[in-house]
Amino acid sequence: MAHEHKLEIFRGLWKFKSNTQKIWGVLAFLTFVTAVEVVLGIYKPEILMHTWIDPFKGGFFATIGNIILSPFVYMKPLNLIFILLTIVKAYYITWDFMHMRDETKGLRRSVVWTGVFLICYLIFILLQEGGYVFSVYNAEDALITRDF
């Protein structure tokens, strides 16, 4: 059985001599990312706590713009950073710890694309619905109150 490992991460920016060294390198990187998350989570820099773009008002194109730029229009930059860093960590855990880097393209794609597609769909449907229920609960003429 041959066990060839691809010994570089960051598209070849960081090369390793052995698989063991690569593992420690990835650990260092993951720890660094987690530390960044924790520091941001504790100090919550003011500049990242408010959205940078206000929702566009107007007709069809404003709506399209809001949909395309929704992560920037509706999400605090801090949360966006957290989610992106999480995906970065997930990538390195899957690629280097689970050896996805060394599997064939076919296996890699059937696992990742299936998962990513279904998860995006699930998240879209449920968050959209949650936002809708919120608007029903909190509308001007809402038929429901919890303040009693």
Partner 1 sequence: MDSTVANTGTEEKTWGGGNKPLKASYGKMMMWFFIVSDALTFSGFLAAYGFSRFKFIKEWPIADEVFTHVPFLHGQELPMIYVAFMTFVLIMSSVTMVLAVDAGHHMNKAKVTVYMFLTIIGGLIFVGSQAWEWATFIQGDYGAVQTNGGNILQFGEYVTVDGKEKFKRVSIEDIAVVEEGVRAQHERKNGLWFVGEEALPPYSVSEIYNGLAANENIRVRTQEINAEGEKTVLSREESLRQIKEHGKLVVKGANLVVNEYGTSLFADFFFFITGFHGFHVFSGVVINIIIFFNVVLGTYERRGSYEMVEKVGLYWHFVDLVWVFVFTFFYLV
- Which residues of this protein are in contact with partner 1, per CB under 8 A? 1, 3, 19-20, 23-24, 27, 30-31, 34-35, 37-38, 41-42, 49, 79, 82-83, 85-86, 89-90, 93-94, 96-99, 103-104, 106-107, 110-111, 114-115, 118-119, 122-123, 125-127, 129-131, 133-134, 137-138, 145-148
- Cα–Cα dist 65/8, whole Å: 38
- Specify the 3-state DSSP secondary structure of 112: helix
> Which residue, 89, 116, 90, is CA-closest to 28?
89
Q: For residue 97, count other CB atoms closer than 10 A to its CB.
A: 13
Choice between 4 and 60, CB closer to partner 1: 4
Q: How far is the CB of 104 from partner 1 (least distance, A)?
A: 5
Residue 56 beta carbon to partner 1: minimum distance, rounded to whole angstroms: 21
Nearer to partner 1, 11 or 146 (CB): 146
Nearer to partner 1, 64 or 119 (CB): 119
Cβ-based nearer residue to partner 1, 10 or 113: 113
Work out how close the CB of 88 gets to partner 1 at its nearest, in angstroms, rounded to a whole number: 10
CB under 8 Å to 88, separation ≥6 — which residues? 33
Strand-pair category, 8-9 with 14-15 = antiparallel
| Cβ at position 57, least distance to partner 1 in Å | 19
**Measured between alpha carbons, how far apart are the two ends of the chain, in Å?**
69
- d(CA 96, CA 90) in angstroms, rounded, equals 10
